[in-house]
Amino acid sequence: MAKKVFLEIRPEPAYYTMIGISCHLKDYRLSYLLNQELEFKFTRIDDLVAFLPGKKIQAEFALYHFRDEDRFNTYCLLANRNQEAVLVPELKQTDFFLLVEGEFRKAQKDPVLKAIRSIPNVLTAYEIRLADVKNTDSLLTDIEMHLMNVLKEKKKQYVLKPNH
């Protein structure tokens, strides 16, 4: 009789680094300055619609996206506040989050933090431990799902149509 072997395959969870940015800049200005300072290519995508359980409402937060193909990282610049609400209430002093998906070692992180801090009107930039923030799993899941939907729609727009 043949022996059956069962393999339990679990997807490897995505690895994230979160950087908090406190500043007096609008989202579009900060993304422009990050593009200049770090040679990123942030583009504005559809706002992240998040459900705020404390207020029982949905709110939209500005979101910018950049994929670094050379280092295999995805960067998201996410506003922590809008006119009505704060996305992560326990970090209400933080105006923006820079989420980095993928391996982001200290040798990469330190120059990025230094560059962000050098931008005029940026008060501070610091790494946030994801374990210290409530509901990070749901926030990261919301962002991942949102990115999948937005980028899928973007690909549909660029499909070449044959000429007849």
In the chain, what are the domain boundaries? Answer: 20-88+99-155
In this model, does residue 52 exceed pLDDT 80? no
In this model, does residue 100 exceed pLDDT 70? yes
For the segment 132-147, what is each residue's pLDDT rounded down to a tens digit? Answer: 888 888 888 889 999 9
What's the Cα-to-Cα distance from 102 to each of 25, 116, 123, rounded to whole Å? 27, 19, 26
Sheet of 122-128, strand order = 43-52, 57-68, 73-79, 96-101, 16-23, 122-128
Question: What is the rounded average pLDDT for all residues in the chain?
Answer: 86
Query: What average pLDDT does the segment 112-132 reach?
Result: 94
- Better pLDDT: 116 or 50: 116
Please tell me the distance from the alpha carbon of residue 41 to that of residue 33, in angstroms, as a whole number: 10
Query: What average pLDDT does the segment 86-96 reach?
Result: 93
pTM of this structure: 0.83
**pLDDT at position 159:** 53
Percent of the chain with pLDDT over 70: 85
